[in-house]
Structure 1
Amino acid sequence: MTRVDASLRLGIRANLAQFSLLVTVNALVGGVLGQERTVLPLLAEQTFHLTGYTFLLTYVLAFGVTKAASNYFAGTWSDRFGRKPVLLAGWLVAIPVPVMLIWAPSWGWVVAANVLLGINQGLTWSTTVIMKIDLAGPARRGLAMGLNEAAGYLAVAATAVTTGYLAAHFGLCPAPFLLGAAYVALGLGLSGLVVHETREHARLEATQHTARTDGRHDHLHAELTNRQVFGHTGLREPALSAASQAGMVNNLNDGLAWGLFPILFATAGLSVSRIGILAAVYPAVWGAGQLITGSLSDRWGRKQLITAGMLVQAAALALVALADTFTLWLVAAIFLGAGTAMVYPTLLAAIGDVAHPAWRARAVGVYRLWRDGGFAVGALLAGIVADLWGLRAAVWVVAVLTAASGVIVAVRMYETHPKTHRPNPVAASEKGVL
């Protein structure tokens, strides 16, 4: 039996310093992604004179494929080598990205930079998720994920609006990408010098792990191979697989918002600064909303929030397709962000509920493989439909898929939160764990 350090404690409050530091690190991870949200679609059209939406979205495809694969390896490597080495590797990969975007002589350089960005985001974001789940313990897992994802996507939003301002006043390049370079330097420094390893906290939770009283997880024992973890998370286990498909569809519509929304807004005659506002509002509401929805999922459970969130996103996308004014698009962006906030931390918390601590990092990696594969699927689907039938048709297709995903969750997923299968929803040992 593996010996566990007796001084370790689970809970956000018990690990507040490290938990807060990891929130900051993930904000920097989100900032590195946010440097592209407003500027890159405009750079593609105005600087590189790209024609055809499918070709333009190659950078989203490259990002999505590499991030999805990196998520999987982040989970397996975190179990094998520890969390901190994977986090550091992710930051090292990000170093060339701003430089490549600034000096890119052709669109191929932008695509190559997004390959590296996908690796960076997969390794760093996945690892901060895993580390926060390690520290938080089971009672406040939803809150932990809400804080993590809020930090990342608020940083995406803040950086999107800031880079829009910089682009409007100083040009599309290089000013917006210098901000990304500063994020990389700070993130690497904090991760290398101050962040501590958290794998022992997962081992501590494994020693305290109790099975569900309904016997639903009896087949999900601690000793699962990578192949079994992949199969359960992606296909066989009802809650895990329902979460995986919902995550994929969620990021499918995020890929659409990232790659095509700025162009749709530009064709309506909106200025760069207004496009920047719309590009920022959606992740801002998404990010801030998770401060509420993550905690609510600890009280109300996961399934209802996920189902409702997918349906709200579908309605918001339909409004984007119908609207043609800044005001209506602003309303749609708010609702799209709210729906995503209901879903994003809750899906991660559901994965943490079901997966045993011994293979939870791998399950998170597999889930994020499926989820971020949605970027690639969304880039291809939206690009092809937009080329054939126009931008609004692409938005309608994704809206329908998002609604269908919500129905799948309603039918297939069971409630995963521990309160549904414990005699006392807040066990004495968990009180004060925040």
Structure 2
Amino acid sequence: MTIGDDEAGDGGGAATSPPSPIRLGLRENAAQFALLVAVNALVGGMVGQQQTVLPLLAEDEFGLTGYTVIFTYVAAFGVTKAAANWFAGTLSDRYGRKPVLLAGWLFAVPVPLMLIAAPNWGWVVAANVLLGINQGLTWSTTVVMKIDLVGPRRRGLAMGLNEAAGYGAVAVTSLIAGYLAGEFGLRPAPFLLGLFYIALALLLSGAFVRETRAHAHLEAGQHTPRADGLHDHLHAGLTDRQIWAQTSLREPALSSASQAGLVNNLNFGLSWGLFPLLFATADLAVGQIGLLFALYPGVWGVGQLITGALSDRVGRKHLVTTGMATQAAALAVIAASDSFGGWAAGTVLLGAGTALVYPTLLAVIGDVAHPAWRGRAVGVYRVWRDLGYAVGAVLGGIVADLLGLHAAVWAAACISAASAVVVAVRMYETHRR
């Protein structure tokens, strides 16, 4: 399967160079795929550098005590990341993937510097606005590029590797940042990691990453409709408005994935702002809090190496349903606990539930969306999913202020259980095994 490489280069080459063949598949594109995995690890590391530190910084250096106020930086991050996801999908379909990836990394450059120098909490919120743009543009683009490269057969595995790299880096960097904060103080040491990540990512993305839009064009040319006729209305010529409607509300699998993604990240957003404060009520050391926080994305990240590939074998729907139910149970364990042991068990279980869901939902979008508008469908899905950061932060902050930290976790558990029911009732199996 080949096609002329008129769109696959980095924006041009010598006119005398023969076109390189374009092939779909993980093995056929192993070098570029591995490079994009490394880039996405750096994307995740940008979040990990601050997750353990910022809630403690809010209380220790800025004197913020209201949970809703502290969570403003998570809400700002979630809203801007959600909006950036849509632009990432639209611009990558229109202009190519690589320019969007590079633009996303440029938005990251001021973030560590602002966090190091911040004289007040407003600077932290502003830095997280820029971080949200960075995450939306870069993470969405690496997702779309990997889907482009591997084609339809190994989509779940590809998403598992992508998300494992990103959230594995969140876990590792959270752990390192917690150690640095405990040894050298909350600033500037933990945020120096971010400066290193940005420099390395700009080098890799600018010099070595190649455009992948031609791979999507190749797949579109080979696209065949489902035998059951389910997707006959999802043809190549949908408008942006129609893509929004199908992904958000009308198409059962796409819209079920969008709501499950929102609830999944509601849990992550709530944990980001609330878990360090909850764990601190037991007088745990900063290093212990960092370890507890790292367990969640750590199990999540490693687990996706298994669950993404598993969805290619057993299908998508049952993994999503089981994953959302597991998250509900995990949050109940965390809410009912008040010690390191209980919280460790709950965060490990929460990571396992998230691992079942996260790469599988992206694979669902890739299964259903036509290659001609797949980038925009991924963008819409990620808009809804990443709004969960803001919803989780605001909901968690309000409930924590009114009823306490444990009550906020119980609320998230109930919402996760309801999401599992919606998926079980509405989503159909999307993987054509």
Partner of 1:418, secondary structure, is coil
Q: Which amino acid aligns with 1:304?
A: H
Q: Which amino acid aligns with 1:256?
A: L
Does 1:68 find its partner at 2:100?
Answer: no
Name the counterpart of 2:165. Answer: 151
Name the counterpart of 2:389. Answer: 375
Q: How far did 1:328 drift?
A: 1.1
Does 1:328 find its partner at 2:342?
Answer: yes
RMSD: 0.7
Q: How far did 1:268 drift?
A: 1.4
Does 1:353 find its partner at 2:362?
Answer: no
- The 2-side partners of 1:181 and 1:40 are apart by 17
Asked if the contact 1:30/1:153 (under 8 Å) is kept, the reply is yes
Out of 271, 282, 297, the position equivalent to 1:283 is: 297
Asked if the contact 1:233/1:244 (under 8 Å) is kept, the reply is yes
Does 1:109 find its partner at 2:109?
Answer: no
Partner of 2:372, secondary structure, is coil
Name the counterpart of 1:49. Answer: 63
Partner of 1:167, secondary structure, is helix
1:11-67 Cα distance to aligned partner (Å, 9 max, x none): 010000000000000000000111011001100111111021000000000000000
1:196-248 Cα distance to aligned partner (Å, 9 max, x none): 00000000000111110000000000001100001000110000000000000
Aligned structure 1 segments of 4 or more residues deviating by more than 6 angstroms: none
- The 2-side partners of 1:247 and 1:157 are apart by 20
TM-score scaled by length of structure 1: 0.95
Instruction: Give the number of equivalent residue pairs.
Output: 417
Superposition map of 1:27-426 within 5 A: 27-419=41-433
1:178-212 Cα distance to aligned partner (Å, 9 max, x none): 01110011011110110000000000000111110
Q: Which amino acid aligns with 1:174?
A: P
- The 2-side partners of 1:327 and 1:185 are apart by 38
Q: How far did 1:267 drift?
A: 1.1
- The 1-side partners of 2:295 and 2:196 are apart by 23
Q: Which amino acid aligns with 2:223?
A: H
Asked if the contact 1:70/1:123 (under 8 Å) is kept, the reply is yes
Partner of 1:346, secondary structure, is helix
- The 2-side partners of 1:45 and 1:304 are apart by 42
- The 1-side partners of 2:359 and 2:35 are apart by 19
- The 2-side partners of 1:384 and 1:4 are apart by 55
Partner of 2:234, secondary structure, is coil
- The 2-side partners of 1:51 and 1:287 are apart by 31
Name the counterpart of 1:426. Answer: none
Name the counterpart of 2:15. Answer: none
- The 2-side partners of 1:356 and 1:117 are apart by 30
Identity %: 72
- The 2-side partners of 1:22 and 1:202 are apart by 16
Instruction: Structure 1: state its 5+ residue gaps.
Output: 420-434
Asked if the contact 1:167/1:175 (under 8 Å) is kept, the reply is yes
Partner of 1:329, secondary structure, is helix
Name the counterpart of 2:14. Answer: none
TM-score scaled by length of structure 2: 0.96
Q: How far did 1:418 drift?
A: 1.6
Instruction: Structure 2: state its 5+ residue gaps.
Output: 6-19
Asked if the contact 1:4/1:203 (under 8 Å) is kept, the reply is no
Q: How far did 1:4 drift?
A: 4.8
- The 2-side partners of 1:186 and 1:279 are apart by 25
